[in-house]
A and B are shown apart, each in its own frame.
Chain A
């Protein structure tokens, strides 16, 4: 009887130590699922999901506070990837947050810009260059098309420019086989 109790206690202590050591040694910083969700989100940092950036939205999704269909820039592709990752059902994009459109960037009309720096402060990815009372300009390659710089501009000199395909980014279209569908219908 006493031997049994002692043995079990000893085992409990040993395993406890092992577990304790493992908890410290293999500690995971932060929530790894947040990282994974954040990696899928398009990082426009536009806030259309009502969260102040992609990471807060990723955290909200991870905590089950937000559905996966609130990201208009990501569109269908992001919803599919998120559904895959989280093992939840694919949802339609919630149009209340905006529509999934083509990629855009913004451009500053440099003739009109008064150099107020308000857009620089609004840009979430530091893609606008300039200084007080100096002309500002957008670094096109870094612009995510979040349009957050447009509302603060006092002279409305920031314009949205759709990004057009060039030879390097052009994509083949999915062949249309709606012919089959029509055949079936008839």
Chain B
């Protein structure tokens, strides 16, 4: 049965250059002296380390955990010692550093205890997704979106078509093509696991018509499976047919509306390498620790595809491919159209590194003014107006540039490729996109600042009011107590007076003659008289004593 194909708008027919790296089979690369694993290798939040410097880890052991729904854990890609958790340069167009976990391999490459799944058919889709999530599997085609999310159709959504994307449209890159040639059966097995998670009605494996070998091999292995819901479809080699939206258009004729996902149209698209990674975790329990990377370009004497432990520095790989440094222009991660230059050859291979490309230095002619020829608009697969985008981006008119649907641009580079003035159009779009994101971040921050400032004003106002009220209350209280005191004092005075009266009366009543002076015996009277006399005598003596003392004091 031959499937009727559609066409997407625009696109380019480019020279493939794929045979350079496909002459030899995939070779497992040697281990480097140091493995560097960035915490951010995927779309979404960076992972969080769960190991410490000095820990010994085994291959396949989780060393960083996912921190959010859209995030992925990271596993040690060989056994060894964690020597550092620090900022290292990562493959990113900025050339900036980000936190990485550095492992010094012990050379044993010893696996941790693996837990393969006997029969995935017994598991329900959500358990399946959890296993894929814990294995840190992300889309290996280049974007690096966590795969388990794309294996979740969501409630009440039926997946009609599951597409396995083997259309590797960019020149030079051949890692998926060689994978389809070498492991066709495993790709189909991986596809069946994905289908089980999604309950997809039909599956399509799409590959370009320049890879006849893979087509035959895939068709042969499909015969063994007798699954009539899987189709293998050959599509014309037009760049960028491997783009998700373009591929869906070619295979189904459906266009994914703006701000919608393929799943909204009942379609899910995964990369062939992702299918192999998923099969690995179910078949042998191995998480995502290695991937196939194409090393290619005319500056390498031994270009080929390598199976690489994630975290291997580019420089190590370039040495394996016998890279001639003196010939080289920039080292590019990805392809010549959408890839970006890495600023240092020490950056590591990450989960999304599909190709390391080192082309000879080419003299580039400077950009000339736009002549409004309109060629860019005829090749744009997103059917945008690249000229208008260019003018608005250059004028930094970020509202207008969004009116021209800047965010529908897939940065495929077709417009810049055909531009006769050699204007670096894509860079203008990237500039505008990042500027708009930055403005949005600023806006969010200023909204928070406004809220906080307004709350502070409100708080100060409230405090002022409260203080005033407190003052008033205090004043009122003071007055009250004073008036009370006034009435109190008279009562007190009266009480005091009464008490004094009482004491006086008592004293008066007690002022009567001492009772023990009457009826004294003779001897008693004599004793009293003697005492009196002595007292008299003492008194006289003391007055005569004190007087001169007083005088002398003066």
Contact = CB atoms under 8 A, between A and B. Distances in A.
B98 A172 contact: no
B502 interface: no
Contact of B423 (A124, A144, A177): A177
Nearest to B93: A172
B449 A125 contact: yes
A167 B90 CA distance: 9
A172 B430 contact: yes
Contacts of A175: 367, 424, 427-428, 431
A77 B446 contact: no
Per DSSP, are chain A's interface residues mostly helix, strand or loop, or mixed?
loop
Contact of B431 (A41, A126, A165, A174): A174
Interface in A161-186: 165-167, 169-175, 177, 179-180, 183
A167 B427 contact: no
Contact of B448 (A44, A142, A170): A142
Nearest to A44: B449
Contacts, number: 84
Interface string B427-467: 11011011101110110011111101101100100000000
B529 interface: no
Per DSSP, are chain B's interface residues mostly helix, strand or loop, or mixed?
helix
Given A126-B456, A165-B94, A174 B394 contact: yes
Given A77-B439, A172-B431, A174-B428, A167 B450 contact: no
Interface residues of B, number: 38
A43 interface: yes
Contact of A42 (B92, B438, B442): B442
Interface residues of A, number: 29
A115 interface: no
Interface string A41-75: 11111000000011000000000000000000000
Contact of A142 (B368, B369, B449): B449
A166 B98 contact: yes
B434 A180 contact: no
B96 A167 contact: yes
Contact of A45 (B368, B431, B453): B453
A117 interface: no
A137 interface: no
Contacts of A43: 445-447, 449-450, 453
19 contacts: A42-B442, A43-B445, A43-B446, A43-B453, A124-B453, A125-B449, A125-B456, A126-B455, A126-B456, A126-B459, A167-B92, A170-B94, A170-B434, A171-B434, A171-B437, A174-B394, A175-B427, A175-B431, A183-B366
Interface of B: 40, 90, 92-94, 96, 98, 366-369, 394, 396, 423-424, 427-428, 430-431, 433-435, 437-439, 441-442, 445-450, 452-453, 455-456, 459
Q: Lowest 3 A-B CB distances belong to which pairs?
A: A179-B366, A43-B446, A43-B449
